[in-house]
Amino acid sequence: MREPIKNALKVTAFLALALTVLSGVYRVISWKDNMGSYLSSMEQLYDTPKDTVDVACVGTSHVYCGILPAALWRDYGYSAFNMSISGVDRSGAYHGIVELLKTQHPKVVVVDLYTITYDEMGEISNVYRKMLGMKMSMNNASMVWKDADPSERLDYLFRWPIEHTRYHELAKYDFLKNPVNTFARGEAPEWVVGEAGDVEGAARRVEAGELPEAVKDWVDRLCVLAEKKGFAICFTVVPTETDDGTQACMKAIAQYGETLGIPTYYGNEKVSELGIVPATDFVDPWHLNVSGAEKFTAGLGKFLSEHYDLEDHRSADGIVPKAYEDWDRDLRWYERKGRLKKLSGLSDPADYLRELLSLEDVVVVVSLEGDYEAAGADYSALCEVMGLSEEAYRKGGKWLCFGGPQPTCTKVLENDPDAELFTYPLSKYDILQIRFTDDAYGGLLQTDHIRIGSEQYSNYGSYLRIVSYDTWLEEVIESRGF
């Protein structure tokens, strides 16, 4: 009798071990990308404290580029969240709302009308974002069963047949959680300056068309869900170029919404009112950049404040309630990202370093080497920024600097092949290593070696190399040679 029990225990232990191993492997290779660059609105949703989202904004990339929860928090104290996925269709948007309602009870759900015109998703990457970004659940299974090709349903339901092919593309945030996904609120602002056409003129010349039955049914289903869950609906159109047919459909939805008591903030017809400039406030003809998003979000925030009773969750004494700390962190990230983007426009090394060192939680490596004076390169302005003497500047070397209200720079390595390797722990996972060697490429090029983790950021012929690391987000900001 004991032998069968022993065998049963062995089998149980083996299965438990196998399940643990497979679970660990699956966490690594699972699909994690909803918006691009390992930003995931779904992961962010799952990391959001329960019952804290008052405004849920639903839609495609128009939403995550054009609506800024950080700005709504900064200006109104609204706890907004973008439940948006690139290229998402009606079905994906609806099931995304259902997923959000599992943990949140928003007062308002803002739906971008462009999303409702999408019958299905085109690009396979966006299909993966829709099908695989969500946790396995009855909600996800229902969406897959309804929307996936019958021959692919089981692949999407069980996921492994699709996700096991990701081995060749695994990167840092497959193994580690992207810190941004722990506090970001679903936005993916862009600082690129592109151009759009006459968005407002194109919108005003088009009349409402016939409302497709499938679209009407979707709106009706949303109204039923809203009544059941106790939230209001608001329609919007984030400014975008689009064809006349889509424009006519969006206007038809807005008209139908009026009959149901649903207001619409039609951004395409408010471009001039909001001061949005098509030549400078777009990434491309379809997406607002951060300048345009600031202007549109300001208008949408005012519209929400006039139509809904939304709470300002900021505290008068400056202390943010613990449940809403993520919104404060999100604002910090948004403002910090904006300041870092300005670095790309700075060509003077002293100005560049000064701006870097004005930021907290930044570690900077400054590597100055070679006969730069003989070559006519003048970096002497660094002396004031780093607190260097003229002798130290002329001698060169490697400095480790820490940003903040009172930045500091300390020399950590001489330009000497015999100098010992310098190491510094930047984070739990990233170690900085600096050493000097003059025998690279057979002695033809003097170069130092700056390594963070497995990546090298050496001078590569530049006399001056500045490498910056964000200890808050645990990632390299930039490596710039001058």
If phi over 0 gives left and psi between -120 and 50 gives alpha, with beta otherwise, what is residue 422?
beta
Give the integer Cα–Cα distance in Å for 251 and 340.
Answer: 39
pLDDT number for residue 70: 97
Question: What are the domain boundaries of the chain?
Answer: 1-28, 31-338, 347-481
> What is the chain's Cα-based Rg?
27
Q: Which of 160, 83, 162, 82 is nearest to 124 (CA)?
A: 162
Task: Compute CA distances 438 → 121, 435, 463, 480, whole Å.
Answer: 55, 10, 14, 21
pLDDT of residue 14: 64
Q: CATH classification of 31-338 is 3.40.50.1110, yes or no?
A: yes
What is d(CA 108, CA 128) in angstroms, rounded to the nearest whole number? 28
Tokens for 287? Answer: 């997406």
Structure-block tokens of residue 459? 């001078």
**CA dihedral sign of residues 342, 348, 349, 353:** negative
Give the span between the Cα atoms of 347 and 352, in whole angstroms: 7
pLDDT at 167: 80
CA distance 128 to 152: 12
**pLDDT tens-digit profile of 106-118?**
999 999 999 999 8
* All residues at 6 or more sequence positions from 215 whose CB lies less than 8 Å from its CB, including other chains: 90, 116, 117, 249, 252, 253
User: What is the predicted pLDDT for the residue at 24?
Assistant: 64
Q: Which residue has the tokens 């900085």?
A: 432
Distance CA 365, CA 266 (A): 48
Which residue stretches of the chain have pLDDT < 50?
A: 441-444
| pLDDT for 419 | 86
pLDDT of residue 49: 96
Contact 180, 336 (CB under 8 A): no
pLDDT at res. 1: 54
- Indicate the pTM of the whole model: 0.89
Extended strands (E) in 113-197: none
How is the chain split among helix, strand and coil, in percent rounded to 5?
A: 45, 15, 35
Q: Which residues pair with 479 in a beta bridge?
A: 467
What tens digit of pLDDT does each residue of 32-75 get?
A: 888 878 889 999 999 999 999 999 999 999 999 999 999 999 99
Q: What string of DSSP letters covers 294-360? A: HHHHHHHHHHHHHHS-----S-TTSPPPGGGHHHHHHHHHHHHHHHHHHGGG--SHHHHHHHHHTST
Contacts of 204 (CB under 8 A, 6+ apart): 269
The confidence score (pLDDT) of residue 192 equals 92
Pick from 414, 411, 416: nearest CA to 400: 411
Q: Please report, for residues 101, 160, 168, 232, 468, the alpha-carbon distance to residue 307 in angstroms, rounded to integers and kept in the order given.
A: 22, 46, 50, 10, 45
Query: Rounded distance, CA 42 to CA 130, Å?
Result: 10
3-class secondary structure, 378? coil
Give 83's strand partners. 58
Candidates 33, 35, 92; CA nearest to 287 is 35
